[in-house]
Amino acid sequence: MELVLSGVLFFGSLVALVFMIISKKQEKKEKSQEENHNVVDKSIKEILPNIYYDVENECFVDESENKVFDILRICSKDLINASEDEITYDQYQYTKLYKTYSEDLKLICINFPCNTQKQQKYLQKKLDGTNNAKVKAWLQKRIDELQWIEKYKTMREYYYMIFSNNVEDHLKNKMNVLSCLRTGKNRLCETISQEEKIQILFKLNNKSSLIS
């Protein structure tokens, strides 16, 4: 009995010793990773400018360059089915903008993955609420199509990036763009949310990344 008890105590001590060794190695590894992470973060901070989003004025502020910039969406239109008068009027609006706007203006073109989750949820709710076999088959076909579109298709979006020397100039420049392109029945430019602006900046700085 004593021999068995001694064996159990020895085995328990051995397990505790192994656990302590593994814990110390893991702690050392995590500490090393944390030190490397801090080094990387430090180098990134030295290279990248200090940019923050001004919620009140809805723009980005680059403190290192003392610059302000913002992003506006260009509203795409169906030119094939549009009338000649409508196209001519749109051209007039763009001409007016480029004649009156003197600051830097950058055109951005980005492909975004198609998001059909809202349509899928609606059709799925209809599918769950019907017992008609034909309706179910049609709804399931539409859901499958939306899933295929979301997986293989992308949407091309166009944006203006405007630059200013300070917040006061930014508000004037932004108003200039919007006043030129938002007149008439169909607007050609609109503001976007902070989240979408951050997604665009992330995509511009990470060309191979996927965003939703």
Query: Which tens digits make up the pLDDT trace of 93-105?
Result: 999 999 988 888 8
Fold for domain 51-114+153-205?
A: Alpha-Beta Plaits (3.30.70)
pLDDT cut 70: percent of the chain above it: 73
Q: What is the mean pLDDT of residues 62-74?
A: 86
193-202: pLDDT as tens digits? 988 888 888 8
Number of neighbouring beta carbons within 10 Å of residue 196: 16
Asked if 74 and 189 touch (Cβ cutoff 8 Å), the reply is: yes
Model confidence at 43: pLDDT above 70 = no
Model confidence at 162: pLDDT above 90 = yes
Length of the chain: 212
Number of neighbouring beta carbons within 10 Å of residue 117: 12
Asked if 182 and 73 touch (Cβ cutoff 8 Å), the reply is: no
Model confidence at 29: pLDDT above 60 = no
DSSP character for 65?
A: T
Rounded CA separation 66/64 (Å): 6
What pLDDT shows up at residue 14? 43
Rounded CA separation 18/194 (Å): 51
